[in-house]
Amino acid sequence: MLVLDDGTSGGIVDIKTALSIAMDRDLDLVCVAPQAVPPVCKVINYSKYRYEKEKKEKEATKNQKVVEVKTIQLSPVIASNDFNTKLNQGRKFLEGGDKVRVSLFIKRRYSSLSDKGMEIVNDYIDKCSDIAIVEKKAVFDGKTIQVTITPKKTK
């Protein structure tokens, strides 16, 4: 199936005829749908076609928002003022549309405070629950408790 450069259909022709039509017009023969029956080929200026395709792809990527993952680090012996500061910072990230990974590292000397660490992380999640949801639940792997929270979808 041949499509000419002005958009009209050239009908179903063999490959030699299609190539001769393209050469007569000083254009290229490009197969745009090889899986179709019969395959669809266009007589076009290939460099212009490639340029316009790249331009469309760039325009599509401009409109996409890249979601970043911001990390908030806590401690099992964090003071309430420090906790509130970290909470406010995390809320700013969530309101800005970013994901937040809350990480609590338990040092060796605080290894007996792992339950307290889990309470702190759960408290952080509860205080952010009005604007965020938990993407990955709190995971305790040896020395670190991590949880990822994402902003709620706004209508």
Q: What pLDDT sits at residue 138?
A: 81
107: tokens are 């040092």
Taking the model in full, what pTM does it have?
0.57
Sign of the CA dihedral running 32, 35, 36, 38: positive
Q: What pLDDT sits at residue 155?
A: 47
User: What is the mean pLDDT for each group of 10 consecutive residues in the chain (155 residues)?
Assistant: 86 90 90 88 89 89 80 89 93 90 83 78 90 84 87 71
Q: What is the rounded distance in angstroms from the CA atom of residue 138 to the CA atom of residue 136?
A: 7
Q: What pLDDT sits at residue 90?
A: 92
Which whole-number Å values give the CA distances from 45 to 23, 48, 83, 102, 118, in the listed order? Answer: 11, 6, 62, 53, 63
Q: What pLDDT sits at residue 115?
A: 77
Backbone angles phi, psi at 39, to 5 degrees: -60, 145
Q: What pLDDT sits at residue 54?
A: 92
Residue 140 · residue 114 · CB < 8 Å: yes
**Of residues 8, 35, 24, the one with CA closest to residue 16:** 24
Q: What pLDDT sits at residue 141?
A: 80
Per DSSP (E only), the strands in 34-68 are: 40-44
133: tokens are 């949801």
Domain 2-60 architecture: Roll (3.10)
Q: What is the rounded distance in angstroms from the CA atom of residue 114 to the CA atom of residue 127?
A: 20
Q: What pLDDT sits at residue 154?
A: 60
Query: How do the domains of the chain map onto residue ranges?
Result: 2-60, 69-151
Domain 69-151 architecture: 2-Layer Sandwich (3.30)
Cis, bond preceding 151 (omega within 30 deg of 0): no
